[in-house]
Amino acid sequence: MISLISLSRPSLSSLEAKQLNNTMKAELDFIFYNRLEKTGSQSMTRLINALGKRNNFGTYRNVIVPKTSPIETFEEETEFIEQLMELERPSAYVEHANYMNFTQHDTPKPIYINLVRHPIQKVISAYYYQRHPVIYANTLLRNKNKKKDKIYFDRTFNDCVKQRVAPFCVFDSHNEFNNDWRRFSLHLCGNEEICTYFNSEIATQKAKDNVEREYAVIGSWEDTNITLAVLEAYIPRFFKDAKKVYYKQTPEFTVNTTPHDTHLDEEVEEYLQRSFHFEIELYQFIKQRLYKQYIAINKQKMQQEYENKSYQLK
């Protein structure tokens, strides 16, 4: 909630949109959206496609291929970035990938964006998403050896965590990759070895540094209005009229939802809060930055509302 940041006069006056706008640091008219799984990235991808037609920029995405490692080597990064440089500009590229420092590859810096979701809700969503009939059928088409028994589909997330069923419901910081791509510190930390450790304080701090230094906007569908307003204000070349397009065609951007039970038993929630401690810290850091960006572009209006309310209370 926006209440995380005080709306008192000193706080408002200290927030400047220019100081929070990393788009100005970009050296390419090119968006790199290294989307995180189960954060509503399909909705954002569809929105970007619609805006590309409206605002005259190209949109691209790769075919998802199975990965044998959670990180890329420097050489693999170089090859990937060189391929991106062949795309027309202005354009936006969408890919499930870790953060990459384009400057280290002697390449101009793009406009980085992303979305987040509360880590616990994210992992619950991922659990039931994999068990959705359509998603499971598509998985079998790619790999017929991944057949699951009835228990796999009938077991609730609460029971899975209580029973510590591996690999789906064991969230152990000592397990390097944790068999779990649903966390987001890895994607925002990068392709260094330290980034692979689950719920790591070091990986979290590195991710925070990347977020603050490099990312133009990291939004959340938990705050749709705020996210769209910030995207429009900080990246207008690409996100002009984002709110208008989204709310006019909302059903087109929410087709990939999979309804599921979000209730957590007390012991399960306590275990997840401990297991995702640093993931939650990173999530809160990102959300606070988003609110700061929003307040910075609306501070005159908020200041006026604050003063009017103060006057009425006298």
What is the average pLDDT across 250-260? 74
- Ordered by start, the domain boundaries in the chain are 18-117+179-258+276-308
Q: What pLDDT is attached to residue 253?
A: 76
Instruction: Indicate whether 55 pLDDT > 90.
Output: yes
Measured CA to CA, the distance from residue 176 to residue 181 in angstroms comes to 12
DSSP string, 194-240: GGGSTT-HHHHHHHHHHHHHHEEEEE-GGGHHHHHHHHHHH-HHHHT
Instruction: Indicate whether 66 pLDDT > 70.
Output: no
Q: Is the CB of residue 206 less than 8 Å from the CB of residue 281?
A: no
DSSP annotation of 43 reads H
From residue 2, give the alpha-carbon distance in Å to each of 29, 57, 120, 202.
31, 32, 21, 27
What is the average pLDDT across 59-82? 86
pLDDT-derived band at 64 (thresholds 50, 70, 90) equals low
Instruction: Indicate whether 6 pLDDT > 50.
Output: no
Instruction: Indicate whether 257 pLDDT > 50.
Output: yes
Burial 273-308 (b: 16+ CB within 10 A, else e): eebbebbbbbbebbbebbbbbbbbbbbeeeeeeeee
Q: What is the mean pLDDT of the chain?
A: 87
For residue 79, give the nearest of 57, 96, 100, 109 by alpha carbon: 100
| 96 exposure class (CB count in 10 Å sphere: 0-12, 13-18, 19+) | middle
Q: Is 96 a catalytic residue?
A: yes
Task: Tell me the pLDDT tens digit for each residue of 12-31.
Answer: 567 888 889 999 999 999 99
Active site residue: 96, 105, 132, 277, which one? 96
From residue 99, give the alpha-carbon distance in Å to each of 125, 197, 205, 210.
23, 15, 14, 8
What is the average pLDDT across 187-199? 92
Return all residues near 2 (Cβ < 8 A) that are at least 6 apart.
226, 291, 294, 295
Angle at alpha carbon of residue 275, lines to 271 and 276, rounded to 5°: 120
Instruction: Indicate whether 302 pLDDT > 80.
Output: no
Tokens at residue 269, please? 């929630």
pTM of the model: 0.88
Q: Is the CB of residue 177 less than 8 Å from the CB of residue 167?
A: no
Percentage of residues in the chain with pLDDT exceeding 90? 61
Instruction: Indicate whether 256 pLDDT > 70.
Output: no
Q: Is the CB of residue 186 less than 8 Å from the CB of residue 75?
A: no
Strand partners, 215: 112
What is the average pLDDT across 270-286? 95
DSSP annotation of 148 reads -
Q: What pLDDT is attached to residue 5?
A: 45
Return all residues near 287 (Cβ < 8 A) that are at least 6 apart.
4, 116, 220, 222, 223
From residue 169, give the alpha-carbon distance in Å to each of 60, 122, 140, 196.
34, 13, 21, 18
Task: Tell me the pLDDT tens digit for each residue of 98-127.
Answer: 999 999 999 999 999 999 999 999 999 889
Residue with tokens 């064991």: 170
- What sign does the dihedral 92-95-101-102 (CA atoms) show? negative
CATH class of 18-117+179-258+276-308: alpha beta
